[in-house]
């Protein structure tokens, strides 16, 4: 579901224009880093945010500001200090650091690596924002398919 929502988001958000005009990327979101377009780095990031047990941190009850079963609230998870997430680091603060590194790196290969991490991270953060708009994620209803599928994601597709 996240990949589809992410693709749809770019038709309204002027990412393409921003990349061309502000960052000098002639191909906009079709610019490639390590053979993969910006657009795909972002959509892959959206998909990868659920990998490796990270999804236990994708819940946020707005009445208690708590997450699922003692895990991080999605809002806290998304805004942890750089380097503080378990497994891989893609909080807002990590991604801002990756972006700064991309803008200041003097070697092309390093700059490309930081841009790839930045765009993947943007997708991972977008995933968290999307999850916080899903009823099951704000009611702490776990819903791993196919056993406890509440049908919401199928409906949204």
DSSP designation for 73: B
Burial status of residue 74 (CB atoms within 10 A of its CB: 0-12, 13-18, 19 or more): buried
Contact positions with Zn ion (CB under 5 A) in 117-156: 131
* C-beta nearest to Zn ion: residue: 58
The smaller minimum CB distance to Zn ion, of residues 28 and 58, is found at: 58
Q: Which two tokens stand for residue 60?
A: 């946020």
Q: Is 60 in the site for Zn ion (CB under 5 A)?
A: no
94 and 121 in contact (C-beta within 8 Å)? yes
Pick the stretch among 33-41, 46-54, 86-94, 142-150 that binds Zn ion (CB under 5 A).
46-54
Q: Is 94 in the site for Zn ion (CB under 5 A)?
A: no
CA distance 62 to 25: 39
Q: Is 58 in the site for Zn ion (CB under 5 A)?
A: yes
Interface contacts to Zn ion, rule CB under 5 A: 50, 55, 58, 131
């Amino acid at each position: 579901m996240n990949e589809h929502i992410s693709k749809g988001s770019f038709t309204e958000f002027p990412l393409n224009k921003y990349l061309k005009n502000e960052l000098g990327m002639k191909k906009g979101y079709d610019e490639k880093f390590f053979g993969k377009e910006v657009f795909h780095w972002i959509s892959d990031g959206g998909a990868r945010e659920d990998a490796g047990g990270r999804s236990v941190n994708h819940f946020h009850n707005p009445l208690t500001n708590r997450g699922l079963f003692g895990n991080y609230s999605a809002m806290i998870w998304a805004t942890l200090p750089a380097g503080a997430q378990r497994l891989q680091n893609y909080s807002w603060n990590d991604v801002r650091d990756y972006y700064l590194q991309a803008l200041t790196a003097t070697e092309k290969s390093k700059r490309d690596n930081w841009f790839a991490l930045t765009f993947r991270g943007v997708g991972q953060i977008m995933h968290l924002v999307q999850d916080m708009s899903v009823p099951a994620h704000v009611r702490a209803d776990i819903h791993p398919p196919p056993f406890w599928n509440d049908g919401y994601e199928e409906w949204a597709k």
